[in-house]
Chain A
Amino acid sequence: MSDLLLEVTDAEFRYAKGAPPAAHHITLAVRAGDSLGIVGESGSGKTTIGRGLVGSLHPSAGAVLVQGRPWKSIRRRDPVRRVVQMVFQDPYASLNPMLSAVGTVAEVVRVWDGLAARPAVARAEEILAEVGLTGEVITRRPAGLSGGQRQRVGIARALACGPQVLVADEPTSALDVSVQANVLNLLLDLRESRGLALVLISHDLSVVDYLTERAMVMYRGEVVESGPTGSLLSDPQHPYTRELIDSIPGRSALPPAA
């Protein structure tokens, strides 16, 4: 079987029929263990692509395939649904305020692995420990957790159904600077320990540089440049990419070769 997990072919995404496309001519592929950064300013269409990758927005043209199958053909309890999961930008809004951390994760285990309540809780505790949450803190509801802890619960929930691709939409932008590094390092560790493919959506090039090997730059709904993250940063070809690099404090792109 091919190790191609996600494939987007010349896709176009619109939020309503007749509305202008939020992203178009999008082509990308994610293989097992890949790490891809999607970078761009607000409104550039990067979150739209993220929604398309996890199947919450269907393309109006082109195709988004998960293990060779279009999202539309994947039913609610189809095992292929486990392949791609999402980590959200706002860790508070992404958690059910009425469920504890362990309850949130145990629910996924119960639904997908069919475990009874007690074994599901035990499994949830293991997954939460994997993201660094143990002890009394896992019995708290989101209101009793810090931003970083909430994001860890969000990551644990995504991990609970055993995904192969994690789509992280600005996973650190709502967090304190001091907590951002912890969450980024956690994602890095999980990539290595679980062999996860990671699609990181961010407006911050330095975060994309830290976590991904390949990156694509979005501008007004289009991919303007893509390639290995290192060469994209050291030798940007598109003026917008250069602008993005210049916006990183203490770093600026070299002027284009004459």
Chain B
Amino acid sequence: MESLAVFVLSEALDLADGDQELFLTLANLFMQESPKELAAARSALARQDARGLAEAAHKLKGSVLPICAPRLFERAQRLELLGRQGEFAEAASVCADVESCLAEVHAALRNVIAGGFPS
């Protein structure tokens, strides 16, 4: 699992058809939206709401696709599955993983937004 990359800029750019401006828009949108989904997942977990957890994890997972962050995608996918199965104990630990992965991705995106694209 650790072997998965945090964020692959070249692939993300490729997904945006090489459009750097579009990618920056998507990155900003992601940084704005993803904390909401994480919060929604945490709150669902706290009230043992399996369906709410799966839906929040699913939405987060979806938003990760265009950003191209494989490790976060894998964790969010796992969290969605556990939510569906109502495995709250393991879900709590995976949710913590999601949070730290998300922080890594945010950091990487901030770098790109601040520092621009490698030529």
Q: Do A and B make up one complex?
A: no
Which residues does B use to contact A, with CB under 8 Å? none
